[in-house]
Structure 1
Amino acid sequence: MAKEGVGDDEPADEGAEDFPIHPDPDPIGDAAESEWDEEPAAVRAEPDVEQPPDGPGDGPAPGRRLGAIPRRALSGLGVAAVARLPAIRAAVLPRLPRLALAVAAGLLLFASFPALNWWWAAVVAAALLAWVLIHPATTPSGGFGYGFLFGLAFYVPLLPWISSLVGATPWLALATTCALFPGLFGLCAVSVRRLPGWPIWFAVLWAAQEWLKSVFPFGGFPWGSVAFGQAQGPFLPLAQLGGVALLSTAIMLVGFSATAIALEIAKWWRAGREDGGQDGKPPAVVLPGVCICLVLFAAVIVWPQVRHSGAGAGGEPAVTVAVVQGNVPRLGLDFNAQRRAVLDNHVRETLRLAEDVRAGAAPQPQFVIWPENSSDIDPLLNADAAEQVARAVAAIGVPIVVGTILDLPGRTPENSAYTNTVIVWNPVTGPADRHDKEIVQPFGEYLPMPWLFKHLSGYADRAGHMVPGKSGGVVHVAGVPVGVSTCWEVIFDRAPRKAVLGGAQLLAVPSNNATFNQTMSEQQLAFAKVRAVEHDRYVIVAGTTGISAVIAPDGAELVRTDFFQPAYLDIQVRLKTKLTPATRWAPILQWVLVAAAGAVILAGIRHNGWFPRPIRLRSGPRGETDDAGAAPGETPPDQGGDHTPPDGGDDDTPPDEGGRPDFGRHRGAT
């Protein structure tokens, strides 16, 4: 089997005898030999003329001779490159449609995310990617290449907000790392495409690669899961059935099945034209059609329940919650140097809320939520910071959930470890329940493997020294169990699920996006919408600079703030206690999908003959030879005879037993 880079073509099995292969002389070798051989001949033919010296002395010019060496080398390389152009053109041109479709698919998947929110683009992206991978000429290594190219086209435009913090190099490095996972999907998809029902196996493999990216490396990076681009799509209710894993799998399954149907119809139409429309079998579209119908049916079934929950029906108790967005002095990495100004901004906005409450312009909240890092000074050690927080609490007269940092005991300049903490501050008793951030961000809040990365990049010195905490993810505020997942934690399935299973009746997402732009905040808001539907909870998003919002259990935005504007939100929400199927069983579904992906990969490898099958020797009666099954005058297969099946069909004999490698032979779309 030929090896390839991106999308190498496989030679077709049928009709190979019509195209005899002749040895092709090496254009590079010929060109290089002629270039190097002609020069010495010309030099020997020149008359022996004394050359003027380059400087003092009578010797030859060494500089001129040394300069001729690189000129000859460059000339040889140029001739070799020109000689290779026809071969390169012949290799690239057949792959151009697949290369273009892989890039287009990645861009379409990006378009399904904020700020465009074209939810349908994810389905089209899956369909185009499936066509590229199911193409008979795409080999496993080509599948990796096309998948990697698809990933680059998706992640590079999805993550540019990182460059505003640390520059373009980390942004492109992260996008490239993320693109490896769609590449791995492409490799595995090509390996299993000949199995019956390939759209289902493609969707299962996609779910497995999303899971792998969410746990590896350095704790994972779930940003970019297909489900997070469906916050405004009609399939969003599926998140309540099976969480992010089911929603992503369903979207990709619809796209893959659409491609299967299109390929089968095209195959049926071509067959009908060839035989004049006689005895044409109907296209095999039942299985992919059933897959699409099942996804639509599931979304329709669960949609009324989601809408009913978002409407506030059910008689759940209601509470009034306020969110304060104090803003920061300016955008940029150095906002931490102005920690006191950030704290003062949130105190000032809380005092304005208290004045509006006394004036009757706003309802009295039962508690107030401040964003992450709203007090970037430890209020348990700094008396001035504690006084400012207590002042705001006394003015509003209710507890405030404060996002802060807490220094660990024994902190020194050499060991400046701290936790990212959300702490409840009561009007009378002061500090109470707290949640220490459990999932910390690599390369931002801490530096993994400092012994390596400090020597590779100067950006490593910008990482913090945050350590993960241990908590249940729930704080009690004014008697209400509130689940807390910070802006980084909310993208991981386990954080909000742990809070809801711990009794949270309301979810809060304190975030700090002061070092990023509005696009990042919009994407993060989409994550919160998916979590609201997944766990049937109201979600309160509180940001230092925005976007702050209140999201209903059906994913609808009830109210939101502008970006980089001091503001507050004051709204009534309902407390929810029921557990959704996703909250209960989504982890089980995730593991089922991962296990199924592993099983189907093994089945695909076995089906393609990559595993050697043991040869079982059958002992016959005495006097019977091993070639008893051969016709008179024929050479048995094990002695070099013809091993081609009598029907001229595909050879299913493993390659190690004399069979032909069968990658690339198209067996239908399903």
Structure 2
Amino acid sequence: MFSTLAQTDRWPARISSLVAGALMTLAFAPFDWSWLVFPLLAYLFYHWHRADAFGAFLHVWLFSLGMRLTGICWIFFSLYFHGGSPAVLAVAIIVLLSAYLALFPAVAAYLVNRYCHANDLIRLLVVFPSTWLLAEWAVGITLTGFAWMQPGYTQIDWPLAGYAPVFGNHAVGGLIAVCAGALLAVVKNLISWQKALILVGLIWGTGFALKQISWTEPAGDDIEVALIQGNIPQELKWKRHMHRKTLEIYRDLTLEHKDVDLIVWPETAIPDYKHRVPAYLISLRQALQPGDTDLLVGLFIKNLDSGRYYNSVLSVNGGEYRKRHLVPLGEYIPLRSLIGFFNRWIDIPMSDIGSGPDDQALLVVAGQPVGVSICFEDIFSRDVRRDLPQATVLVNVSNDAWFDGSHQSRQHHAIARMRALESGRYMLRATNTGISSIIGPQGEEVLVAPPAERYVLRAKITPFTGQTPYVFWGDGFALLLVLLVLGGICLWPRLQQRAGSA
């Protein structure tokens, strides 16, 4: 290992892997150079293919590090501008988080180059893509998970997205890697360009055909919805003098649209506890009763006995949802006894939140059961799937104002589009400062509010019933298939060797 590190003539190539990874961010929203993901992954595979086990670890780790450093640098905004963190500490946290997340594909690359011996073409078309898929899946489930910057999201407007309702976003990322491997195989003369074109054409053609299929069906009449984007600046949101004005803004915008079936407010639109604003909530319910309008409100709910409080969505007509999947270092401090110093350096409001129970009943609004997620819960397919197929509409409330001025909100919007496509349902995204949107069951943008503006999105949507194949089997089917294929390729030579020596 140390001799590999000491080979200084190889470091320019390794640094180029870091740069290539950094450029990967351009393939994601808001830049949307979706095609760029193919040559960049092919470039990574080139170095991965020709390196020894530890060299593969370094190249893949540096590539993944670069991708995440540029892709999630927006965390700096919340830590420095809103959390009061010293700039050096904020940068250090981003670097450490990125380095940790990059370990997953790097370790997988090491293991594959160390133990899996297959011919060059199989490695590029099967082994490397399968390994990449498994590593990205592991990133999303280990500890709390952080399923951001996954290549599948770059293809939301392209034919490969057709695989999402069948096998999920991870499979889309795996097929991107297969196409990248085919590109490199042509460059290395391992396969003719005609055969590579046939392979890629089959993958893309099948994706296009799958995209034409409606996996779910309408469940009753359309409902009219309104999403309120209050546009309260994050630096003012928790100020005492803004409390009454914030409540007035949301009340006035709501009453202007009380003729719809459902109104949705953003995450913590009311910057307070439920038990502190009972009169306000009652007045809203009474104002909406003549038109029989349902209202979903984001606020905190405190258990007065235990003192625990929860990031929640409340239906003013009854029922609530408490956020289950919390943001580490944002909504709670993991391993508090070990990293309690964190509180001395960073002051993020409401950062000791309780986690809601797993077995929460669906909220029923406008006569429809809805699957609610709060903030980054919608980046986890498994969290959205747990409400399906019972839910006929998906609702996500967020406050991406923590990251104003960055590319985070566009990335989050693209992720929500993938969740709608995977589930075959409308997704209603109500955010504080943007990007609020109404997304169709094919992942298409129906309406999108301009960011950083006070705005109301209003449209008629169709509830959907049934389940896509992905909702039915989740990631399990694709993962099992990949594990069987990868395991067979890696174990077959050893089995042959044992059979020959018997």
Q: TM-score range by the shorter chain?
A: 0.7 to 0.9
Contact 1:213/1:222 (8 A) holds in 2: yes
Matches of 1:505 and 1:333 in 2, distance apart?
Answer: 36
Residue of structure 2 in register with 1:444 after alignment: 330
Establish whether residue 419 from structure 1 lines up as the match of residue 310 from structure 2. yes
Contact 1:327/1:566 (8 A) holds in 2: yes
Establish whether residue 182 from structure 1 lines up as the match of residue 105 from structure 2. yes
Runs of at least 5 residues in structure 1 that lack an aligned partner in the other structure: 9-90, 266-282, 355-363, 427-431, 619-670
Residue of structure 1 in register with 2:33 after alignment: 118
Which whole-Å deviations, capped at 9, do the CAs of 1:6-64 have from their partners, x for residues lacking one?
Answer: xx7xxxxxxxxxxxxxxxxxxxxxxxxxxxxxxxxxxxxxxxxxxxxxxxxxxxxxxxx
Q: CA deviation at 1:602?
A: 5.6
Q: CA deviation at 1:150?
A: 0.3
Contact 1:537/1:575 (8 A) holds in 2: yes
Matches of 1:161 and 1:395 in 2, distance apart?
Answer: 44
Matches of 1:475 and 1:565 in 2, distance apart?
Answer: 29
Aligned residues: CA RMSD: 3.1
Closer, same or farther in 2 for the Cα pair 1:595/1:347, shift >3 Å?
same
Q: CA deviation at 1:186?
A: 2.8
Specify the structure having the higher radius of gyration (Cα). 1
How do 1:210-609 residues align onto structure 2 when only pairs under 5 Å count?
210-217=136-143, 219-264=144-189, 283=191, 291-305=199-213, 317-328=221-232, 330-332=233-235, 335=238, 338-354=242-258, 364-387=259-282, 389-390=284-285, 393=288, 397-411=292-306, 416-426=307-317, 432-455=318-341, 458-459=344-345, 462=348, 464-470=351-357, 471-472=359-360, 474-501=362-389, 503-517=390-404, 518-592=406-480, 595-596=483-484, 599=487, 603=491
Q: CA deviation at 1:97?
A: 3.7
Contact 2:14/2:62 (8 A) holds in 1: no
Residue of structure 1 in register with 2:9 after alignment: 93
Residue of structure 2 in register with 1:4 after alignment: 4
Secondary structure of the structure 1 residue equivalent to 2:212 = helix
Closer, same or farther in 2 for the Cα pair 1:286/1:478, shift >3 Å?
same
Residue of structure 2 in register with 1:87 after alignment: none
Contact 1:134/1:193 (8 A) holds in 2: no
Secondary structure of the structure 1 residue equivalent to 2:168 = helix
* Matching residue's letter, 1:205: T
Matches of 2:400 and 2:37 in 1, distance apart?
Answer: 27
Matches of 2:127 and 2:353 in 1, distance apart?
Answer: 41
Matches of 2:253 and 2:98 in 1, distance apart?
Answer: 38
Which whole-Å deviations, capped at 9, do the CAs of 1:220-275 have from their partners, x for residues lacking one?
Answer: 1111111122223331121111111211111111111221232125xxxxxxxxxx
Secondary structure of the structure 2 residue equivalent to 1:564 = coil
Matches of 1:556 and 1:238 in 2, distance apart?
Answer: 15
Matches of 1:385 and 1:591 in 2, distance apart?
Answer: 49
Which whole-Å deviations, capped at 9, do the CAs of 1:279-323 have from their partners, x for residues lacking one?
Answer: xxxx577986665344223212212225x98xxx97963111111
Residue of structure 2 in register with 1:172 after alignment: 95
Closer, same or farther in 2 for the Cα pair 1:296/1:615, shift >3 Å?
closer
Contact 1:204/1:593 (8 A) holds in 2: no
Secondary structure of the structure 2 residue equivalent to 1:490 = helix
Closer, same or farther in 2 for the Cα pair 1:99/1:349, shift >3 Å?
same
Q: Give the TM-score normalised by the residue count of structure 2.
A: 0.87
Secondary structure of the structure 2 residue equivalent to 1:453 = coil
Runs of at least 5 residues in structure 2 that lack an aligned partner in the other structure: 80-89
Residue of structure 1 in register with 2:83 after alignment: none
**Which structure shows the bigger proportion of residues in helix conformation?**
2
* Matching residue's letter, 2:333: L
Contact 1:506/1:575 (8 A) holds in 2: yes
Contact 1:536/1:553 (8 A) holds in 2: yes
Closer, same or farther in 2 for the Cα pair 1:263/1:589, shift >3 Å?
same
Closer, same or farther in 2 for the Cα pair 1:607/1:332, shift >3 Å?
farther
Secondary structure of the structure 2 residue equivalent to 1:529 = helix
Residue of structure 2 in register with 1:143 after alignment: 56
Larger RCO of the pair (alpha carbons < 8 Å, separation 6+):
2
* Matching residue's letter, 1:212: A
Q: Give the TM-score normalised by the residue count of structure 1.
A: 0.67
Q: CA deviation at 1:210?
A: 1.0
Matches of 1:436 and 1:213 in 2, distance apart?
Answer: 25
* Matching residue's letter, 1:448: P
Residue of structure 2 in register with 1:642 after alignment: none
Contact 1:473/1:483 (8 A) holds in 2: no
Residue of structure 2 in register with 1:65 after alignment: none
Percent sequence identity over aligned pairs: 23
Contact 1:371/1:512 (8 A) holds in 2: yes
* Matching residue's letter, 1:178: L
Q: CA deviation at 1:552?
A: 1.2
Q: CA deviation at 1:94?
A: 4.5
Closer, same or farther in 2 for the Cα pair 1:164/1:239, shift >3 Å?
same
Secondary structure of the structure 1 residue equivalent to 2:100 = helix
Q: CA deviation at 1:523?
A: 0.7
Residue of structure 1 in register with 2:133 after alignment: 207
Contact 1:473/1:484 (8 A) holds in 2: no
Contact 1:513/1:543 (8 A) holds in 2: yes
Q: CA deviation at 1:472?
A: 4.0
Matches of 2:351 and 2:174 in 1, distance apart?
Answer: 36
Secondary structure of the structure 1 residue equivalent to 2:316 = strand
